């Protein structure tokens, strides 16, 4: 049976993918930071492996362990990541270093460590979960988006470099997904479900950040992680040489509109909707 390594299966898209591939009969290894705490609602057939992408060397160690014990997985699904929300001006060097380590450097380390085995075998699929924010930049998500733009660039480069060796590369670009990850970085919700004011902690950016939070809160028609997992399964099963797969709510129409209208026109369209009419 085919095998897949999925990073970040504690919740959200990663857990949904792990469950879906396990149900489909795949041999699934899912990574978490602490293997002693099995994620709730994770299929019992998923084997856990420890991985902390914030620690350089952790990905290489996991790759070596997997290759030695069970062979190189057929598919690597780089899903794990962290989100940074706030003005670029206020992001500290430590925060910037951490998000690039987790969202880019650690994932690239994992891929590089497994590529020799894939190349020797003559097959494999590298699937990187980027973002709609890897094709355009949202205000106050710029640092996070920049890591996804970088992963998009790496994915495109790998597409060229690995194609001669029979290794496929896919970039999954999720739009708006119903996942708790946003609750971890956005201002807390009140009992009524509204976001609390962020002005007190964002200084000059307060009114604009609140407009962006309000926009985020207005997106009600989000795609469930389970539905995203289905789209990712289809993308991985696609034997063509296609690279990019916009998935989930609004991703395809927004990507298409930006391509047809151009980046500047799209930016002008979204700016007042994100920052307020006087932003």
Average pLDDT over residues 11-39: 97
Which pLDDT band holds residue 203 (cuts at 50, 70, 90)? Answer: confident
**What sign does the dihedral 259-86-199-251 (CA atoms) show?**
positive
Mean pLDDT of the chain: 93
- For 41, list phi and psi in degrees, rounded to 5: 65, 15
Residue 48: count other Cβ atoms within 10 Å of its Cβ: 20
**Domain-located, residue 213:** no
pLDDT at 194: 47
Which pLDDT band holds residue 278 (cuts at 50, 70, 90)? Answer: low
Number of domains in the chain: 1
- For 123, list phi and psi in degrees, rounded to 5: -160, 165
**Which residue range(s) make up the domain with 38?**
3-186+223-257
Looking up residue 179, the CATH number of its domain turns out to be 3.40.50.720
Distance, in Å, from the CA atom of 114 to the CA atom of 84, rounded to the nearest integer, reads 28
Task: List all residues 6 or more positions away from 86 whose beta carbon is below 8 Å from its beta carbon.
Answer: 140, 202, 209
**Domain-located, residue 28:** yes
Average pLDDT over residues 19-46: 97
Q: Estimate to the nearest angstrom the gap between the alpha carbon of 234 and the chain centroid.
A: 17
pLDDT above 70 for 186: no
Per-residue pLDDT of 136-174, as tens digits, reads 999 999 999 999 999 999 999 999 999 999 999 999 999
Q: Are strands 124-129 and 167-174 parallel, antiparallel or unpaired?
A: parallel
**Angle made by CA atoms 156, 162, 167, in degrees to the nearest 5:** 105
Radius of gyration of the chain (CA): 19
Q: Say what the pTM is.
A: 0.92
Least confident of 60-74, 90-104, 187-201, 245-259: 187-201
Per-residue pLDDT of 217-244, as tens digits, reads 899 899 999 999 999 999 999 999 999 9
pLDDT at 187: 57
pLDDT above 70 for 198: no
Distance, in Å, from the CA atom of 75 to the CA atom of 3, rounded to the nearest integer, reads 6
pLDDT at 144: 98
**Residue 12, by phi and psi: left (phi above 0), alpha (psi -120 to 50) or beta?**
left
Per the model's pLDDT, the better-predicted residue between 1 and 227 turns out to be 227
Average pLDDT over residues 91-120: 98
Task: List all residues 6 or more positions away from 45 whose beta carbon is below 8 Å from its beta carbon.
Answer: 22, 28
Which pLDDT band holds residue 179 (cuts at 50, 70, 90)? Answer: confident
User: What is the residue-wise DSSP string for 72-113?
Assistant: --SEEEE-------S-GGG--HHHHHHHHIIIIIHHHHHHHH
Length of the chain: 279
Contact status, residue 51 vs residue 101, Cβ threshold 8 Å: no
**Domain-located, residue 273:** no
Per the model's pLDDT, the better-predicted residue between 201 and 152 turns out to be 152
Distance, in Å, from the CA atom of 110 to the CA atom of 55, rounded to the nearest integer, reads 12
Per the model's pLDDT, the better-predicted residue between 189 and 122 turns out to be 122
Which pLDDT band holds residue 277 (cuts at 50, 70, 90)? Answer: confident
**Domain-located, residue 191:** no
pLDDT above 90 for 176: yes
Least confident of 43-47, 122-126, 213-217: 213-217
Biggest CA-to-CA distance, the chain: 59
pLDDT above 50 for 196: no
């Amino acid at each position: 049976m085919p095998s897949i390594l999925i990073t970040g299966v504690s919740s959200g898209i990663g857990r949904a993918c792990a469950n879906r591939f396990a149900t489909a009969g795949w041999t699934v290894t899912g990574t978490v930071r602490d293997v002693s705490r099995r994620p709730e609602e994770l299929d019992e057939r998923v084997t856990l492996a420890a991985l902390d992408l914030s620690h350089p060397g952790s990905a290489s160690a996991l790759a070596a362990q997997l290759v030695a014990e069970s062979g190189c997985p057929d598919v690597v699904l780089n899903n794990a990541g962290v989100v940074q929300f706030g003005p670029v001006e206020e992001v500290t060097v430590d925060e910037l270093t951490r998000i690039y380590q987790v969202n880019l450097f650690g994932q690239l380390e994992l891929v590089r460590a497994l590529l020799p085995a894939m190349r020797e075998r003559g097959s494999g699929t590298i699937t990187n979960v980027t973002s709609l924010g890897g094709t355009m930049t949202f205000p106050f998500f710029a640092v996070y988006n920049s890591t996804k733009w970088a992963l998009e660039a790496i994915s495109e480069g790998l597409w060229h470099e690995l194609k001669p060796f029979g290794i496929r590369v896919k970039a999954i670009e999720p739009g708006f997904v119903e996942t708790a990850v946003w609750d971890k970085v956005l201002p807390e919700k009140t009992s009524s479900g509204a976001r609390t004011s962020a002005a007190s902690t964002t200084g000059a950016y307060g009114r604009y950040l609140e407009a962006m939070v309000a926009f985020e809160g207005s997106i009600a028609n989000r795609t469930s992680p389970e539905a995203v997992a289905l789209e990712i399964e289809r993308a991985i099963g696609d034997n063509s040489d296609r690279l990019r797969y916009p998935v989930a709510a609004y991703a395809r129409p927004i990507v298409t509109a930006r391509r047809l209208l151009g980046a500047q026109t799209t930016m002008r369209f979204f700016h007042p909707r994100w920052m307020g009419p006087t932003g």
